[in-house]
């Protein structure tokens, strides 16, 4: 039984999981915030791109196109601000989880 539990929840992974859970908990209040300057612009360009307009031609910003792709789910859900905040929170949690995994020592 212990081997199965170790396979599902290895000893080295619980601090990472706890960190991600605490970060998610700390980030929950941000879902009620309105658009920040960056989020509003990214959402707008993503919405316009999905509507058939092209970044850097019809809508201009200096950011690389990947940021607008990240905001597609937010733009698809309408003009409410919370989807953009969910996208941001997920990006923070994924980045934190990846950083935890990359800094794990083998063995």
The pLDDT tens digits of the residues spanning 28-87 come to 998 888 888 888 888 899 999 999 998 888 998 888 889 888 889 888 888 888 888 888
Q: Which of 89, 78, 107 is nearest to 12 (CA)?
A: 107
Q: Is the pLDDT of residue 4 over 60?
A: no
Name the residue among 51, 55, 82 with its Cα closest to residue 67. 55
Q: Is the pTM for the entire model greater than 0.85?
A: no
**Is residue 12 predicted with pLDDT exceeding 60?**
no
φ, ψ for residue 59 (rounded to 5)? -130, 130
């Amino acid at each position: 039984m212990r081997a199965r539990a170790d396979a599902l929840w290895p000893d080295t992974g619980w601090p990472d999981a706890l960190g991600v859970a605490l970060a998610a908990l700390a980030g929950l209040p941000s879902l009620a915030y309105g658009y920040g300057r960056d989020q509003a612009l990214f959402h707008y360009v993503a919405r316009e791109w999905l509507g058939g307009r092209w970044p850097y031609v019809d809508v201009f910003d200096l950011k690389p196109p990947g940021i607008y792709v990240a905001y597609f789910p937010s733009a698809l859900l309408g003009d409410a601000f919370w989807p953009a905040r969910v996208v941001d929170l997920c990006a923070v949690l994924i980045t934190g989880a990846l950083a935890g995994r990359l800094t794990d020592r083998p063995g």
